[in-house]
Amino acid sequence: MKKVFTIFLLGFSLYMFSQEQKVYFDDVILEHIKSFNKQCDLAVENDNIEYVDVLFDSLNRTYLKGTLISDLRLKKISGGYLKTEDIKTPILLISKKSCFVTHREEIKAINEMANQYKGKLEFIVLYWDKKHLAKKATKGYNKNVNIVYVNERDNKLDVTLSSIKNSFGVPSSFYITQNKELSNIDRKFYLKNLKKSTKKEFYENTYNDITELLLENETSKKENIISTRGNN
């Protein structure tokens, strides 16, 4: 009996420790975004624009990577809701606004990637607009791309959505593992122009981030399997 009780205490302690290790994206943003913005403003004032990218990379890799993205409930353009808790694959969440014109070539690139990674990666394009504006801006995406929208007037309670929108603005993209852990953020996710070199860079950067996301996801799945077997 004493041995069983000891095992129970050990298991409970490990469970509580794992719960304490959960760090959420919106909490980290709340803690660090003011300092980040202040340093960025100072860099801009000193005409050191490139240092802003250095600051972002440091924030991303040091504090944000690996944080948990809370479950999101998003309105679909086609009607109904998309719940991220129901998605069993990694997610590429692309945050946009209709006032920023999206090149057809960018939509074509996203469609191609969505086709290529169908069943392996869920593509979500989130527009921060009223429904009719979002619907008008999203013509051209194929059926493998989920189009959702958020009317900011209605988004008063969702802290995670507010963090996604207000932390790095639009357009930006969030690479999220199957376990809803943040893999990476690209705060410049858009096709700047139609130059061949620009399109090549856009493709390469996105594919590299997707490859990293899928690799991290597989590693996480294997670790969970090993952990489960160990507990059994």
Q: Is 197 helix (H, G, I), strand (E, B) or coil?
A: helix
- Residue written as tokens 């160990």? 230
Reported confidence tier of residue 232, pLDDT bands at 50, 70, 90 = low
Task: Provide the domain limits for residue 77.
Answer: 69-231
Q: What is the pLDDT of residues 151-187, one digit of tens each?
A: 877 655 567 877 887 778 788 899 999 999 999 999 8
Q: What is the pLDDT of residues 10-41, one digit of tens each?
A: 444 444 444 457 899 999 998 998 999 999 99
Domain count, the chain: 2
Q: Do residue 126 and residue 184 come from a single domain?
A: yes
Q: Which residues pair with 172 in a beta bridge?
A: 95
Q: What is the pLDDT of residues 64-98, one digit of tens each?
A: 999 999 999 999 999 999 999 999 999 999 999 88
Q: What is the pLDDT of residues 137-150, one digit of tens each?
A: 888 999 999 999 98
- Assess contact for 209 and 177: CB atoms under 8 A: no
Q: Do residue 181 and residue 104 come from a single domain?
A: yes
Q: Do residue 57 and residue 79 come from a single domain?
A: no
SS (H, E, C) 102-115: CCHHHHHHHHHHHH
Q: Do residue 101 and residue 138 come from a single domain?
A: yes
Q: Which of 67, 87, 119 is the last residue of a domain?
A: 67
Q: Do residue 91 and residue 58 come from a single domain?
A: no
Q: What is the pTM of this model?
A: 0.84
DSSP 8-state symbol, 66: T
